[in-house]
Structure 1
Amino acid sequence: MVALDEPLPYIGVTPFQLVSALIILILGYIVAKILVSLFKKSMRKTKLSPLVIEFLGRFLAILLYIIVIIVALGAVGISVSPLILGISAVIGLILGFGLQDTLTNLAAGVWIAALRPIDLGEVVEVSGQVGKVSGIGLMSTELMTPDNRLITISNKLIWGSIIVNYTRMPTRRVDVDIGVAYGTDLDLAIKLAMDLMRNHPKVLDDPEPSVVIAALADSSINLQLRAWAKTEDYWDVKGDLTKGIYELYTKEGIEIPFPQLDVHMKNE
């Protein structure tokens, strides 16, 4: 029978040390989860955004896990000082071989969490991708697309690109484009469009809706309906106005032309 205080063959570690390290890892993991949970709970009582709280929670969790691992290694007789020196050497190698993208992503994540150009639950367009912000971590940010695809983007790409936030403001302008045939009574067409927007329950009175002549195109006179709505009503209003203006113009006999080309043949 092997004594608990006698080193095991080949590894030079006692069973007591192995059991102690295992207990430290298990208890340390549980304690770290509890501390992170309590930290997030206390932070939610402040004015910090959920995005910042989630970011700080993940950062604290990683820090605590590293501490637990170092303590567990110390329990099996591994000196902590050489380990810290080793970690420093690894960081030096990372920087030396041009892999500083990790630190760049980390720094970008800090700026995103602090300045909040995007926040959890907002719909944004960034790096050519559109989706709802579902999470932000130390290294990357996650977007959920309308068709339920999860997109992960490095934080440095987000911080270094143009960000379009579709839901940050409380109201948005709904633009609906439609073309009418040349020769159409524009006053009547504009009046019908204005009545349609003013009678819609989700179109705001202030700013008031408007209709502009957007272009004299090859096959049509292009009108643009401009109505303001609450951000959460944007797609409902856009769909209703698009369908409504088509049905209204069809009912009133206003022609909505399709692109066409007249070809004249010359007899020689």
Structure 2
Amino acid sequence: MGDGISNGISNGISNGIIEKVIPYTDITVSRLIFAIIVLVAGFISVKFLVYIFRRGINKTKLPDLTTQFLAHFLSILLYVIVILAFLKSLSFDVDSFIVGLSAVIGLVLGLGMQDTLTNLSAGVWVAAIRPIDMGEMVIINGQTGKVKSVGIMSTDLLTPDNQLITIPNKLVWGSSIVNMTRMPTRRAAVDVGISYSSDFEKAIRIALDLMKGHPLVLPDPEPAVVTTELANSSVNLQLRAWTKTGDFATVKNNLIAGIFEAYKREGIEIPFPQMDIHVKEIK
């Protein structure tokens, strides 16, 4: 009998604490606990659903860029729903909150701050049409870097010196994009000047032999040497060699070093910029 009385007292105290109203609010402890459970369960569910979504969409062989964009969009949408469910569990008037939020959004757009909507729509177009893709080296709005991610509002580029550049999507979609790695092959161009007294035909032959002897230079299109300018102190040549895109940097660096060594060895002068000044004596 004593145990029954003790259990009854304990249950009464527990029920009293749970049903106690938190000071300065109309929320009971039990409702707060329930709301926290909803929030935690919601966040866990969002991560699980996004994970399932990623696995499912990967089977469609969509590009990584599109997959990442859709996953970000879905996660934000689900997080908003979870937060609204959390507020609803605390007896907040969510309907009024949504109406109020819509009014705020309308006011923001009315004040001319519609960049958010513009960036969002631009992000959708970038993800759908894919002028850029994950890992590609591009020039966007004057910025050069490798595409790290395309989010709902902005695109991230990682520069060769490891700087992260964030560009609003409206600038990505609204500006010219130079994609340096989309095509399978690229032409490496190396400029070099020779003196007017050097053997012109020999200089061209040395340059051609250098390119044709490089293992990473493609035979088709055939390497070429063109004269680009008759400058003040030099005849400017350009070595043009085609290679696979992944080998571009290696081939260009090798050609720069190779042509310097070859011309030095064969007596082809690479002149310094110079200016001849004639002084005329006035009697």
TM-score band, normalised by the shorter chain? over 0.9
Please tell me the residue identity of whatever aligns with 1:88. Answer: S
Q: Confirm whether residue 76 of structure 1 aligns to residue 76 of structure 2.
A: no
What are the within-5 Å matches in structure 2 for residues 204-243 of structure 1?
204-243=218-257
Higher normalized helix content (fraction of residues): 2
CA distance in 2, matches of 1:29, 1:135: 23
1:177 equivalent in structure 2: 191
2:207 aligned residue (185, 189, 193): 193
2:128 equivalent in structure 1: 114
What are the within-5 Å matches in structure 2 for residues 1-268 of structure 1?
2-268=16-282
Q: CA deviation at 1:9?
A: 2.7
CA distance in 1, matches of 2:23, 2:274: 88
Q: CA deviation at 1:183?
A: 2.8
CA distance in 1, matches of 2:50, 2:264: 61
TM-score (structure 1 length as normaliser): 0.98
Of 143-152 and 77-86, deviating more is: 77-86
CA distance in 2, matches of 1:190, 1:196: 10
Deviations 1:145-180 (A, max 9, x none): 111111111111111111100000000000000001
CA distance in 2, matches of 1:189, 1:3: 94
Please tell me the residue identity of whatever aligns with 2:128. Answer: A
Deviations 1:20-68 (A, max 9, x none): 1111111100110010011111111112100000000000000000110
Structure 1 moving runs of 4+ over 4 Å: none
Of 16-25 and 167-176, deviating more is: 16-25
Deviations 1:70-124 (A, max 9, x none): 1111111112321221221121111111111000000110000001011110000
CA distance in 2, matches of 1:259, 1:72: 73
Q: CA deviation at 1:8?
A: 2.4
Deviations 1:231-258 (A, max 9, x none): 0100100000000001001111011111
Residue-pair matches, total = 268
CA distance in 1, matches of 2:273, 2:197: 16
CA distance in 2, matches of 1:10, 1:192: 88
Q: CA deviation at 1:184?
A: 2.2
Q: Percent of aligned pairs with the same residue?
A: 56
Alpha-carbon RMSD across the aligned residues, in angstroms, is 1.0
Please tell me the residue identity of whatever aligns with 2:280. Answer: K
Q: CA deviation at 1:188?
A: 1.1
Please tell me the residue identity of whatever aligns with 1:181. Answer: S
Please tell me the residue identity of whatever aligns with 2:118. Answer: T
Deviations 1:191-247 (A, max 9, x none): 111110000000001111000011111110000000000001001000000000010
CA distance in 2, matches of 1:37, 1:155: 25
Please tell me the residue identity of whatever aligns with 2:267. Answer: G
Of 80-89 and 225-234, deviating more is: 80-89
Question: Which of the two has higher C-alpha Rg?
Answer: 2
